[in-house]
């Protein structure tokens, strides 16, 4: 396989049985990268053939890699204001940015706070997303108030309608659930075959550390990392694992940031527990050094949990390479820098909104690192790259095989990569509405130059060809078999 530049469009007239063909590329099939042509009809993959394919329109992908369109299963857009401040991306700019970064599917969150009806919240998100999304989307449900009505009526109905994953928080005033509430949500997920995603940080550890740091006037940005200790993250992870074990239902620990937590998850998985885990670019490509700046620019890298000390990174990479961490998503949280530093240069770390943008840079950062930059023993095959970023998220959130794979009958969603394109990441290249990227100035090799969604070229070499509102809501299947019997602790 020796890639050469310039995929180009052409048209053929002989046999018009396919709407569209992708020819000449190295196509990443589940069985491995294969020199094969792809035929598309009615938005679906209709042929995979070494023989030539005739179609109305052909894209020549010679020298390029043809990957399934990325599935970013953790991103925030159009979320309601948080503590009086709003994020920059709505569904229009958030999905546009994802699409230009090689994704064809996103799963953002519909967030319920205390006192809100989950059903009303989701209806509102549907309204906004359906008018603005460029690519297809599902919703995870953030459950901030698991009342009996929500647990017995609203959630079962929403799961039936295709919102089959639930995020819960073990920290944050207004969102965090107590231990009893967590158990009731897990119980519901078991009954319904849904997956619970856990934001695992210990609230009391954060509050105690924050209070003591502020008493000592330790207010600089770097104390954000101290306040959100990895010990507190590990405790909450262990608690969530224990609850999952007690209720006997799988969970997903999201945005794992530290080697301590990876170890805890590995131990649980070694005991045979169905514990899944996700990490994100900020825990592999940023560190606490990026927050510890003399000026406020470190606020660009403040997120929760925070990027850890650089000495932590080898353990994170080990977790990716040995499969303990099975999903790599962006956790795109699009705060503007201007909002992050609105409190002025002396604002304490507690004043900085948590979260960083990254939906468009997620895939190129990992591609470059794992195909070229890492030492050979730390590289991933193309299939492993696709699994982490695309196939496993589609499987675990009930979208496979419609999404996440190049196979007959799947949606014709592709990202065509130029593996030799060298890009210096600059915020002005990106399509989000955020005023910065934490990866400004970083050079990567390999870039998704063309995105195809349901057989439509929506982005090609810098040109946006899609319309806001073309994205479809994706009802997700239940990822697990519903268990009508309660946990064996009650039936044994």
Binding site for Zn ion (CB under 5 A): 199, 331
Residues 6+ apart with CB under 8 A from 290: 298, 300, 301, 307, 438
Among 355, 358, 393, 448, binds ligand DUC (CB under 6 A): 355
| Interacting positions 285-324 with ligand DUC (CB under 6 A) | 304
Report the residue number, 304 or 336, with the smaller CB distance to ligand DUC: 304
For residue 139, CA distances in Å to 11, 126, 364 come to: 38, 9, 24
Which listed option, ligand DUC, Zn ion, none, makes contact with residue 354 (CB within 5 to 8 Å by class)?
Answer: ligand DUC
With CB under 5 to 8 Å by kind, the binding choice for 59 among ligand DUC, Zn ion, none is none
Residue of minimal Cβ distance to Zn ion: 199
Q: Which is nearer to ligand DUC, 138 or 355 (CB)?
A: 355
Q: By CB under 6 A, is residue 86 in contact with ligand DUC?
A: no
Of residues 104, 80, 77, 73, the one with CA closest to residue 92: 77
Which of 64, 92, 190, 199 binds ligand DUC (CB under 6 A)? It is 199
At its nearest, how many Å lie between ligand DUC and the CB of residue 101? 18
Q: Are 66 and 26 in contact (CB under 8 A)?
A: yes
Tell me: does residue 112 bind ligand DUC (CB under 6 A): no
105 close to 71: Cβ distance less than 8 angstroms: yes
Gyration radius of the chain's alpha carbons:
22
| CA 111/CA 22 separation, integer angstroms | 39
Distances (CA, A) of 255 to 239, 252, 305, 345, 356: 16, 10, 7, 28, 12
Minimum distance from residue 74 beta carbon to ligand DUC (Å)? 7
Site for ligand DUC contains 340 (CB under 6 A): no
Closest to ligand DUC by CB, 355 or 446: 355
Is position 108 an interface residue for ligand DUC (rule: CB under 6 A)? no
Q: How far apart are CA 69 and CA 450, in angstroms?
A: 10
Is 165 an interacting residue with respect to ligand DUC (CB under 6 A)?
no
Residue 35: CB atoms within 10 Å:
11
In the complex, minimum distance from the CB of residue 254 to ligand DUC, in angstroms, rounded to a whole number:
6
- Candidates 295, 353, 266; CA nearest to 85 is 353
Please select the residue that binds ligand DUC; options are 12, 293, 297, 354, rule is CB under 6 A. Answer: 354
Interface with ligand DUC by CB under 6 A: which residues?
199, 254-255, 304, 331, 333, 354-355
């Amino acid at each position: 396989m020796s890639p050469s530049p310039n995929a180009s469009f052409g048209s053929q007239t002989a046999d018009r049985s396919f709407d569209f063909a992708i020819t000449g590329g190295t196509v990443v099939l589940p069985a491995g990268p294969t020199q094969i042509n792809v035929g598309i009809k009615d938005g679906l993959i209709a042929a995979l053939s070494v023989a030539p394919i005739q179609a109305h329109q052909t894209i020549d992908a010679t020298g390029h890699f043809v990957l399934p369109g990325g599935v970013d299963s953790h991103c925030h857009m159009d979320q309601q204001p948080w503590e009086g401040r709003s994020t920059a991306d709505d569904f229009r700019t958030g999905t546009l940015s994802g699409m230009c970064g090689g994704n064809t599917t996103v799963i953002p969150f519909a967030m319920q706070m205390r006192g809100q009806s989950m059903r009303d919240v989701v209806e509102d998100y549907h309204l906004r997303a359906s008018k603005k999304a460029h690519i297809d989307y599902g919703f995870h449900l953030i459950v901030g108030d698991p009342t009996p009505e929500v647990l017995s009526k609203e959630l079962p109905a929403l799961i039936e309608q295709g919102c089959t994953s639930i995020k819960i928080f073990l920290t944050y005033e207004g969102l965090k659930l107590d231990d009893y509430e967590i158990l009731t949500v897990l119980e519901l997920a078991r009954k319904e075959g849904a997956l619970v995603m856990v934001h695992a940080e210990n609230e009391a550890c954060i509050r105690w550390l924050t209070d003591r740091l502020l008493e000592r006037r330790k207010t600089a940005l770097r104390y954000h990392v101290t306040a959100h200790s990895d010990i507190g993250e590990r405790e909450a992870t262990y608690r969530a694992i224990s609850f999952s074990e007690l209720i006997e239902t799988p969970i997903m620990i999201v945005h794992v940031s530290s080697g301590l937590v990876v170890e805890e998850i590995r131990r649980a998985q070694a005991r045979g527990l169905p514990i899944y885990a996700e990490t994100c670019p900020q825990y592999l490509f940023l560190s606490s050094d990026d927050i510890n700046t003399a000026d406020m620019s470190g606020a660009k890298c403040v997120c929760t949990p925070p990027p850890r000390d650089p000495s932590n990174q080898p353990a994170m990479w080990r977790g990716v390479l040995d499969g303990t961490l099975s999903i790599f998503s962006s956790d795109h949280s699009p705060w503007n820098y201007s909002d992050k530093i609105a409190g002025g240069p002396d604002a304490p770390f507690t004043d900085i909104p948590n979260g960083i943008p990254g939906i468009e840079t997620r895939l190129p950062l990992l591609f470059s690192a794992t195909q070229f930059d890492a030492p050979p023993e730390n590289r991933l095959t193309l299939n492993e790259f696709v699994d982490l970023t695309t196939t496993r998220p589609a499987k675990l959130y009930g979208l496979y095989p419609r999404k996440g794979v190049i196979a007959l009958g799947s949606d014709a969603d592709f990202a065509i990569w130029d593996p030799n394109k060298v890009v210096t990441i600059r915020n002005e290249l990106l399509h989000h509405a955020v005023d910065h990227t934490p990866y400004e100035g970083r050079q990567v090799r390999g870039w998704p130059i063309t995105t195809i969604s349901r057989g439509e070229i929506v982005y090609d070499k810098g040109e946006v060809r899609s319309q806001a509102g073309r994205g479809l809501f994706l009802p997700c299947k239940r990822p697990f078999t519903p268990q009508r019997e309660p946990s064996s602790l009650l039936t044994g």
